[in-house]
Amino acid sequence: MKYFSVFILILCLLPQFSCNCDTQQVNEIDPSLVLWYNEPAESWTEALPVGNGRLGAMVYGGTEVETIQFNEETLWTGQPHDYSHKEAYRVLDKLRELLWDGKQEEAHKLGNEKFMSEPLGQLCYQPFGNIILNFPNHENVSNYTRKLDLENALASVSYDLNGVNYSREILSSEPDQALLIQLEASQKEALEFSVRLDTPHNKFDVSVDGNVIVIKGLANNYPDEKVRAGAPYPESKVTFEARLKVISDGELVSKDGTIVVRNAKSATLQLVAGTSFINYNDISGDPEEKCITYLNNLEGKSFEDVKDAHVADYQNLFGRVKLDLGKSEISSRPTNERLATFYADEDPSLVALLYQYGRYLLISSSRKGTQPANLQGIWNDDITPPWDSKYTININAEMNYWPAEITNLSELAEPLFGMVEDLSVTGRKVAKEHYNSDGWVAHHNTDIWRGAAPINNANHGIWISGGAWLSQNLWWHYQFSGDKGFLKNRAYPIMKEASVFFASYLVPDPKNPEWLISGPSNSPENGGLVMGPTMDHQIIRNLLNNTIEAANVLGVDADFVQVLQEKSSKIAPNQIGRYGQLQEWLEDKDDPENEHRHVSHLWGLHPGNEIHPLTTPELAEACKVVLAHRGDGGTGWSRAWKINFWARLLDGDHSFLILKNLMVPSIDAKTNKDNGGLYLNLFDAHPPFQIDGNFGATSGITEMLLQSHLRDENGDYFLDILPALPTALASGEISGIKARGGFELALVWENGNLVSVDVKSLVGNKLNLRYAGALISQDTQIGETYSFTNANF
């Protein structure tokens, strides 16, 4: 089948040949909105993801055996737990002294003995199970395609066998909280298959009740082989249940937990699932009751009913941003073939596809009321997932939400805000026990139980900026929406309490006593425990300044504002070292050979806003030196971050070069080695799969087209249009992207030049539109759109 299809496709692409086999179907595909393949997935990272924020699935598209691996986002090992280490603060001063005395190893030892989370690690996210469909004798099929349609959030499979077309559509509906699979044959009574459920957990039970398969069980304990020495890991207490209902015009027979469907033309499978999780502190929910409620809600609804509601709900989010970067004949090839040659052909519609895929993945993994997208979004088939598939908050979880505001998916950040609110509670305990301080603090990782204490090892776990960094997302939400209610009731209380912590935590630097510094902490995962890593200072400065501004907007806490102003102004400044590099630490000790994946000290360039080629040209140059040292590669998320860095440095071509470095097939076809890049389903590879790189890429492409993080002397934002347009994306259009100050933009550009820009004012702020060095400033009215052409600049 494989070679036949490729052959036909090659013929169809040659202008002198035309065939009406696959061509019509292929031509109908918008290459910037559809992933498609002419073979089933062989591995999990070839399968196609669907999700409703809570319930995710990976569709393999097999013909004889179809596996749909699924997840429910609250199925984690463990149970509610307080990770703080009682009275750890007793060694805090000693840790600082050791570091000041240059005794880092002793500091690590003491930190590991007396300062770490209990237990030493956090818990992990779990797979739920598999829907397994068997289609007897569906071997030598023809005209096979499987697709993921990003415009409608639908996965589908279609093939022919013995003159019959077999198709299926799979969706995960948010309005109906269910995964649906619709199976169709083009002829009466031609559809025959069996369906069953399984799960990788040890304790479970499967039964069939009429046309419903029921699976229930208990989450496995945290995997033994990953347990770290020290305090025991909490036992798993989360229970789960899934129900799969089969509705068909054919005959249904059940046996041994399997339902067989025969002589059918169509069948609808409805999967619902739930766990006992209610919130990080409460797992007293009833999964059976949840499943029954979900299934009752589906009663009387056809697949088309559910699909219509699903598509309408999804498009309300997805349809807000349209991106057209142009396409060519090669764009119509299957996604795996496009990826294989992208580095050479730079097909711009594949860039648009990756961009929209990031938005699709965020919509599918983060909805109001759900958990935030974890390291793998919601998609995980592994009982021992990489890094536990939890939340690393020294870059990864924040990166997941970089596209939310700028790509007009603002409400999808809500789960992150919810997590930060929880962390401000658990982190208050950690501030008390570990620092004898008020306010709240979170270290470099968290899990569904909202662990906030330092984990793993003192050398990277003791890092105090997790909560401060996460607070930036709440501030952004205000900057983009102008929503003062949100600022007052949600963002400010969090930011204020995080600032309360830092107001007492910062200490004078013995060498420069007028400077306040952070520590013990580390520059994420590079160089071990230190006093005064640059990144901490940039993040804390950002937090304190945002908190000051928020208090002023709200007209509250004048005295506290004064304290913060004084603290903020004393935080150690960015420094340029002997190679002209921005220093990662207080001391000038950077190693130009070090290609470490974290480029933490460029935080002030992105996602911060204190370094910019226009306002701080020397520091911007120093960032370029750092990027030259670190190189153009790195893990998936590291490449994604560098796309954003270079866009912020206004170098579109370098930004695009890194995008190309990210858009390579992760697995080398010859050696089978996994080098990082993209898997065939366009999931980003750390390696292994980690979703942050997808979200970071979508953010980086947006930063090439629009930036809004600089402000004039009155605090109004500059909207920089096409600030880092790559040569390879010389012509295109985008609509629906957002800027700080409450603006929605549509841009058209051609041959590297702006053609037109429409700006809708959503809040009524002053507009400062900048393009190619020229500035247009004017007042705006809420709801009005202002249009400009190139000639206006």
- Which lies closer to ligand FUC via its Cβ, residue 523 or residue 681? 523
Question: 256: number of CA atoms within 13 Å, CB side?
Answer: 1
Contact call for residue 398 and ligand FUC (CB under 6 A): no
Contact call for residue 450 and ligand FUC (CB under 6 A): no
- Which lies closer to ligand FUC via its Cβ, residue 342 or residue 449? 449
- Which lies closer to ligand FUC via its Cβ, residue 261 or residue 397? 397
- Which lies closer to ligand FUC via its Cβ, residue 275 or residue 473? 473
Contact call for residue 770 and ligand FUC (CB under 6 A): no
Contact call for residue 5 and ligand FUC (CB under 6 A): no
| Contact between residue 429 and residue 406 where contact means Cβ atoms under 8 Å apart | no
Contact call for residue 375 and ligand FUC (CB under 6 A): yes
Q: Residue 151 Cβ, how far from ligand FUC at the closest point, in Å?
A: 31
Question: What's the CA gap between 448 and 430, in Å, rounded?
Answer: 16
Q: Residue 353 Cβ, how far from ligand FUC at the closest point, in Å?
A: 24
For residue 2, the tally of other CB atoms under 10 A from its CB is 9
Q: Residue 392 Cβ, how far from ligand FUC at the closest point, in Å?
A: 4
Contact call for residue 541 and ligand FUC (CB under 6 A): no
- Which lies closer to ligand FUC via its Cβ, residue 37 or residue 637? 637
Per the DSSP assignment, residues forming a β-bridge with 262 are 251
Residue 423 neighbours by CB under 8 Å, 6+ apart? 440, 442, 446, 450, 452, 466, 467, 470
- CA dist 228 → 85, 321, 371, 452 (Å): 16, 45, 26, 17
Compute how many residues bind ligand FUC; rule: CB under 6 A: 10
Q: Which of the residues 50 through 89 are near ligand FUC (CB under 6 A)?
A: none
Single-letter amino acid, residue 333:
R
Is residue 302 left, alpha or beta, with left meaning phi > 0 and alpha meaning psi from -120 to 50? Answer: beta
Q: Residue 270 Cβ, how far from ligand FUC at the closest point, in Å?
A: 35
Q: Residue 634 Cβ, how far from ligand FUC at the closest point, in Å?
A: 9
Contact call for residue 455 and ligand FUC (CB under 6 A): no
Residues 330-369: x where in contact with ligand FUC by CB under 6 A, - otherwise, as a string: ----------------------------------------
Q: Residue 387 Cβ, how far from ligand FUC at the closest point, in Å?
A: 4
- Which lies closer to ligand FUC via its Cβ, residue 144 or residue 637? 637
- Which lies closer to ligand FUC via its Cβ, residue 398 or residue 744? 398
Residue 749 neighbours by CB under 8 Å, 6+ apart? 722, 725, 730, 731, 732, 733, 755
Q: Which of the residues 502 through 531 are near ligand FUC (CB under 6 A)?
A: 525
Contact call for residue 584 and ligand FUC (CB under 6 A): no
Question: 640: number of CA atoms within 13 Å, CB side?
Answer: 32
Contact call for residue 680 and ligand FUC (CB under 6 A): no
| Contact between residue 769 and residue 775 where contact means Cβ atoms under 8 Å apart | yes
Question: What's the CA gap between 623 and 651, in Å, rounded?
Answer: 12
Per-residue burial over 332-350, b if 16 or more Cβ lie within 10 Å, else e, is bbbbbebbbebeeebbbbb
Q: Residue 642 Cβ, how far from ligand FUC at the closest point, in Å?
A: 14
- Which lies closer to ligand FUC via its Cβ, residue 149 or residue 525? 525
- Which lies closer to ligand FUC via its Cβ, residue 331 or residue 635? 635
Rg, C-alpha atoms of the chain: 27
Q: Which of the residues 211 through 240 are near ligand FUC (CB under 6 A)?
A: none
Contact call for residue 442 and ligand FUC (CB under 6 A): no
For residue 304, the tally of other CB atoms under 10 A from its CB is 10
- Which lies closer to ligand FUC via its Cβ, residue 222 or residue 294? 222
- Which lies closer to ligand FUC via its Cβ, residue 379 or residue 637? 637
Tokens of 148: 């993921």
391, 455, 81, 423: which is closest to 235 by C-alpha?
81
Q: Residue 393 Cβ, how far from ligand FUC at the closest point, in Å?
A: 9
Contact call for residue 158 and ligand FUC (CB under 6 A): no
| Contact between residue 355 and residue 701 where contact means Cβ atoms under 8 Å apart | yes
- Which lies closer to ligand FUC via its Cβ, residue 176 or residue 447? 447
Q: Residue 129 Cβ, how far from ligand FUC at the closest point, in Å?
A: 25
Q: Residue 686 Cβ, how far from ligand FUC at the closest point, in Å?
A: 6
Q: Residue 373 Cβ, how far from ligand FUC at the closest point, in Å?
A: 13
Residue 307 neighbours by CB under 8 Å, 6+ apart? 154, 169, 171, 173, 180, 182
Among 396, 499, 538, 765, binds ligand FUC (CB under 6 A): 396
Contact call for residue 310 and ligand FUC (CB under 6 A): no
Question: What's the CA gap between 434 and 90, in Å, rounded?
Answer: 8
Contact call for residue 597 and ligand FUC (CB under 6 A): yes
Among 128, 387, 645, 743, binds ligand FUC (CB under 6 A): 387
Question: What's the CA gap between 651 and 627, in Å, rounded?
Answer: 12
Among 122, 239, 392, 534, binds ligand FUC (CB under 6 A): 392
Q: Residue 446 Cβ, how far from ligand FUC at the closest point, in Å?
A: 12
- Which lies closer to ligand FUC via its Cβ, residue 386 or residue 592? 386
Contact call for residue 323 and ligand FUC (CB under 6 A): no
| Contact between residue 228 and residue 216 where contact means Cβ atoms under 8 Å apart | no
700, 693, 622, 617: which is closest to 657 by C-alpha?
700
Residues 622-661: x where in contact with ligand FUC by CB under 6 A, - otherwise, as a string: -------------x-x------------------------
Rounded to the nearest 10 degrees, how much is the dihedral formed by the CA atoms of 788, 791, 792, 793?
A: 110
Question: What's the CA gap between 32 and 150, in Å, rounded?
Answer: 9
DSSP symbols for 659-712 = HHHHSSBSB-TTT--B-SEE-TT--EESSSB-THHHHHHHHHHHHHHEE---B-
- Which lies closer to ligand FUC via its Cβ, residue 71 or residue 396? 396
Question: What's the CA gap between 146 and 37, in Å, rounded?
Answer: 5
Question: What's the CA gap between 199 and 207, in Å, rounded?
Answer: 13
- Which lies closer to ligand FUC via its Cβ, residue 216 or residue 596? 596
DSSP symbols for 44-68 = TTTSEEEE-SSEEEEE---SSEEEE
Contact call for residue 740 and ligand FUC (CB under 6 A): no
Contact call for residue 717 and ligand FUC (CB under 6 A): no
Tokens of 4: 């036949």
Q: Residue 58 Cβ, how far from ligand FUC at the closest point, in Å?
A: 20
Q: Write out the residues near ligand FUC by the rule CB under 6 A.
A: 375, 387, 392, 396, 525, 597, 635, 637, 686, 690
